[in-house]
Structure 1
Amino acid sequence: MKNGLIYLFFLLISMIACDRVSSNKTVDRVDIIKEKIIDEPRSKHTVWKSLSDSVKIELASELSKYYRKKKDSSNFYLWNSHFLYLSQINGNSIETAEAYWDRANFNEYTSHLDSSYFYFIKAFEIFEGFGDQKHAASMLYSAGVVQRNLKDYIGGEVTTIDAIRIYENLNDNRGLYKCCNSLGIIHNNLNNFELSLSYHSIALEKAKEMSDLNLIAASKNNLAVVYREHHDYEESVRLAKEGLQWDSIYQKDRELYARLVDNLAYSQFKLKKTGKEIFDALEDARAIRDSLGDESGLSVSNIHIGEYHIENGNIFRAKAILRDELIHAKKNSSASDLIHALDLLGQIDPENSQKYLQRRIAISDSLIDIERKTQNKFARTQYETNKVIANNEQLASEKKLIIISGVIGIFLVSLIYFLNMQRIRVKKLRLERAQVKSNEEIYQLLISQQNHLEEGRRLEKNRMSKELHDSVLGKLFGIRFLLTSLNGQ
């Protein structure tokens, strides 16, 4: 027995080791094929035909992620479509959700935000259906961010709060941090100062609970922005300085470092500090953002530097920077930065102020129209999502009812079977007892009969003995008499 257990143990170990080796070989093979296709795009058709479906799914997933990071639209959609199609025909719903997730992220990167929202919701529905709450919450959070970026603030708030409910059940502080941070931004955009501060403060507490210095610095920056935009520049300066106290910030997160430096310098500028160190700090933040390719941050720096030049009377330099910003903001589809730059140009260029005003109005009207259409799209998608969720809940309820009914049915059948078996068992016991009683009676009759036979034998034996005795005795007397008679003669 002991040798058998040892053999079984080593057999299991060897099976696990073989499985790991097989898995590693598959990963290595996929990596090799991936590199071959990336290096030699023309080889993809020949290579693709020779692969099994499982390897194709893994390869398509890896290439989809690779081209997503490269922002290569044509190759991304090609491989993402392969990934999505194969996952669907093979019934791999989790892989289907991952394909939707990749597509949502890519559309977000390329500013196709309405499509991004759609695919985040599609992925959410699948993850929720499989009970994968962590990924379901992540999809809702991302969908809320997309709504926020499209200025659907109310919709974004609702979606983000739905994500918070899931993260609270999971006790996921990092997820709660992200959601509270996003809600802080939403309410700042809605000019709900107190609510924005409240959510950013909650996010800061979550960051402190996790002892994450990067998130703590980010929350300090977010709070500094809120205070700055509500004209409390002294508090903004204090918070930005606290954020910069993380000594590794420049090495570990240069983008955050640039945001903090820009916020600090701009708030100090708003406090009427116009020294060279302020301008140098604004330029430093701009240079870092430019080197990182942070387009949205670069727009903010351009506008802040433009304001600095306006305040210091350098109108020519301010016009040049702000006109460049008009091109930059248009290129990056940043409507809010475009409007801000137009407002500033309208102030310093009276000759063209009417032109800037008309352009600003056109952009504002276009934004309102886009927001309305987007909200309608979100409303339809949300309606369809709610409908799917309601159907899933109904199916879940029906499934639960079927399970409960089945359990009750099995219980009743088992009870009837048990009672019937008990009845049969009792009946059997009664028959066995009756049989035992009958056997006892028969045994008693047999014993009684045996006693009668023994008594008959004894009486017959006595009778025969008596007859034999009398016969023999009579003959003896006869012989004796005869002998007596003979002796008398």
Structure 2
Amino acid sequence: MRNLKVLLVLIGLNASAQEIANVDSLKSIFKNSSNLHLRTNTAIQIGRYFNSVNIDSSKKYLAISHELVNELKDDKTTATYHLNQGNNYKNTGQYIKGVKEYEKAISIFERLKDTLGLANSYNSLGLIYKIQGGDNREVRSFSEKGLYYENQALELHKALKDTIGIISIYSNLGIIYRDMAELKKAESSFLKGLSLANKSRNETYSIGILNANLSQIYLDHYKDYDRAISLLNEAIRIYEKHGIRTSMEHAYRNLSYNYTGKKEYEKAIAYAKKAIEIAEEVDDDHRRINAYSSLYFAQKKAGLFEESLKNYEHVRSLDDSLFSIEKTNIIAEMDAKFESVKKDAQINVLNANAKLSRIQKIGLAIGSILIAIIALGVIINLNLKRKREIELGEKEKAIAAEKLKVAKLETEHKQKELTAKILQLASKNHFLRTIEKETEALRENVDGSVIRASSRISRLLKQDVRDSEQWEQFSAEFSSLNQGFLDRLKSAFGSFSKSEFRLISLLKMNLSSREIADTLNITDDGLKKARYRLRKKLKLSSDEDIQTYILSF
């Protein structure tokens, strides 16, 4: 029965201070229980409570939880630990580590098909991206990621019919849209949450936040100060009902800005001072800066310049102090990305600058890390560029080789076609000469009419053999395949006649003497004489083979 009561306490725990009022009881349970499962979950819940109250205590109990989780080896408990560890990293500005923890939790909850665990993890992941996005337009991508994960969480809460969860998500979506300056969408999200809250008659802490966030739209965008003031008063009523002090600072601060807008400066200054009182009470530097800023603004507009200047200087002092803290967190974040670079930089800083002031050391450390990062980036870019150039060179070589291969195949094909045409011409001429000889023999043994007919046939045969069209076509194709060859010959030995050109071309094609004689329709003796005259023109000695010379020219 005692354990059942403890588990009911654990299940009922939430992030609000009211719902985790019995932390001392939890500590007692953790100290006295021997049940590993109970002790592990209790340690996680204590760490979760301290996460928004005392970061050092939260780290202590999360470290204890880590050891117990490793011993327990329970998936759901492990996922819950990662979720709470991610929240701790989020609150301390270690966003990259936080994202990794949330992703681990999501992976386990997905495997377990734990819809509520997934919804809470997606919601937390959306919030961490929202924090990184803020109202900086240059990091819009973080806000867009926040929207994505918040919408994931919204679908899961809808599947669970979890009204409180849905209202909380609508509030987060509205904040992200507001930071992205998409004010209509922001207003729509806030109104959806409030409408759902009214239907369900829900007055949880998150309803107060919804009212306060919606008031920001009416203050900043519409300048509807009365509407904004009404919403803020409703938020304060809900905060007071639940005993929530921290969020009341935000509400009082915005009441101050609204009354400043209405030029009711006494009320504006009074609410700003209430905001400062709460900020001091909860000991939150961010809230101090914001609260004093509202007081400075109200006093400035009221013409209280001396008091305004004093508070402005105080805000600057707080801001510088907070900046120093946040700068340390930024360095830690950079260390997570460039651990090896950081170690080298720290060694150099410690050895060379042992007597430098703290600010100088931080500046030098940041500079060293940035230089290392830039150097690393340059090296990576050079390697990528070199790799791209190599890949491009290989592609160009492959393309050139393929083009050369295709050109070679085309040349060989054309060469074969030209050779075939020449051999066909040689065969035809050989056939025609045979017919001509038979005709000559016939004329010696027949009468006059037959002789006249045979003479006409001989003239027709000779005319066909001398047909120049075929040679003109051959000349064009030969020149195309052997570009520059004839020009080089002309440059070296002067011009050539048509018959010389034809002989040179046939020798270049490496045809036999018989094939050349048939193609040119001359006798073997005629071919020998033609080769002799050409050899003389080319100034070849008797030892040099004319065909070998032409083939190699």
> One fold, TM greater than 0.5?
yes
Contact 1:121 1:143 in 2 (8 A): no
User: Which of 322, 337, 345 is equivalent to 1:367?
Assistant: 322
User: Which of 139, 142, 164 is equivalent to 2:84?
Assistant: 142
Name the CA distance, whole Å, in 2 between partners of 1:368 and 1:273: 31
| SS of residue in 1 equivalent to 2:148 | helix
Q: Which residue of the partner structure matches residue 101 of structure 1? A: 44
| SS of residue in 2 equivalent to 1:183 | helix
Q: Give structure 1 stretches of 5+ with no counterpart.
A: 1-23, 32-57, 382-489
Match runs of 1:1-12 below 5 Å: none
AA aligned opposite 1:361:
R
CA displacement 1:421-442 (0-9 Å, x = unmatched): xxxxxxxxxxxxxxxxxxxxxx
| SS of residue in 2 equivalent to 1:313 | coil
AA aligned opposite 2:56:
D
Name the CA distance, whole Å, in 2 between partners of 1:256 and 1:170: 28
Shift of 1:227: 1.4
Name the CA distance, whole Å, in 2 between partners of 1:208 and 1:71: 29
Shift of 1:379: 11
Q: Which residue of the partner structure matches residue 311 of structure 2? A: 356
Shift of 1:231: 2.5
* Aligned CA distance change for structure 1 residues 161 and 362 (closer, same or farther; 3 Å): farther
User: Which of 234, 240, 260 is equivalent to 2:184?
Assistant: 234
| SS of residue in 1 equivalent to 2:161 | coil
* Aligned CA distance change for structure 1 residues 375 and 115 (closer, same or farther; 3 Å): farther
* Aligned CA distance change for structure 1 residues 189 and 125 (closer, same or farther; 3 Å): same
Name the CA distance, whole Å, in 2 between partners of 1:166 and 1:217: 25
Contact 1:265 1:282 in 2 (8 A): yes
Shift of 1:371: 4.9
Q: Which residue of the partner structure matches residue 371 of structure 2? A: none
Q: Which residue of the partner structure matches residue 126 of structure 2? A: 184
Q: Which residue of the partner structure matches residue 146 of structure 2? A: 196
Match runs of 1:55-70 below 5 Å: none
User: Which of 263, 271, 282 is equivalent to 1:332?
Assistant: 282
Match runs of 1:55-94 below 5 Å: 71=21, 76=24, 80=27, 83-87=29-33, 92-94=35-37
Q: Which residue of the partner structure matches residue 238 of structure 2? A: 288
CA displacement 1:152-178 (0-9 Å, x = unmatched): 333322222222222222222211211
Name the CA distance, whole Å, in 2 between partners of 1:240 and 1:259: 10
- Using the aligned pairs only, state the percent identity: 21
CA displacement 1:266-313 (0-9 Å, x = unmatched): 313333242634422221222221222122321221122111111111
Name the CA distance, whole Å, in 1 between partners of 2:36 and 2:286: 39
Name the CA distance, whole Å, in 1 between partners of 2:46 and 2:281: 23
Name the CA distance, whole Å, in 1 between partners of 2:267 and 2:27: 47
Richer in helix (by share)? 1
Name the CA distance, whole Å, in 1 between partners of 2:285 and 2:208: 22
Q: Which residue of the partner structure matches residue 153 of structure 1? A: 95
Q: Is 1:317 aligned to residue 267 of structure 2?
A: yes
* Aligned CA distance change for structure 1 residues 379 and 168 (closer, same or farther; 3 Å): farther
Match runs of 1:378-393 below 5 Å: none
CA displacement 1:365-414 (0-9 Å, x = unmatched): 44345456778999999xxxxxxxxxxxxxxxxxxxxxxxxxxxxxxxxx
Question: What is the aligned-residue RMSD (CA, Å)?
Answer: 3.6
- Figure out how many residues of one structure are paired with residues of the other and give that number: 317
CA displacement 1:78-115 (0-9 Å, x = unmatched): x836x55555xx6x433442452354245336x11222
Contact 2:18 2:243 in 1 (8 A): no
Name the CA distance, whole Å, in 2 between partners of 1:249 and 1:232: 26
CA displacement 1:329-381 (0-9 Å, x = unmatched): 12112322221222222333332344333333333344345456778999999
Q: After alignment, is 164-173 or 363-372 more displaced?
A: 363-372
CA displacement 1:7-31 (0-9 Å, x = unmatched): xxxxxxxxxxxxxxxxx5x779xx9
Name the CA distance, whole Å, in 1 between partners of 2:313 and 2:163: 46
Q: Is 1:210 aligned to residue 160 of structure 2?
A: yes
AA aligned opposite 1:142:
N
Name the CA distance, whole Å, in 1 between partners of 2:242 and 2:200: 13
User: Which of 324, 337, 344 is equivalent to 2:294?
Assistant: 344
Match runs of 1:118-133 below 5 Å: 118-133=60-75
CA displacement 1:117-161 (0-9 Å, x = unmatched): 331242133224322111111122112222222333333222222
Name the CA distance, whole Å, in 2 between partners of 1:131 and 1:375: 34
Contact 2:44 2:84 in 1 (8 A): no
AA aligned opposite 2:132:
L
CA displacement 1:432-479 (0-9 Å, x = unmatched): xxxxxxxxxxxxxxxxxxxxxxxxxxxxxxxxxxxxxxxxxxxxxxxx
User: Which of 205, 208, 211 is equivalent to 1:258?
Assistant: 208
Shift of 1:232: 2.1
Name the CA distance, whole Å, in 1 between partners of 2:158 and 2:3: 38
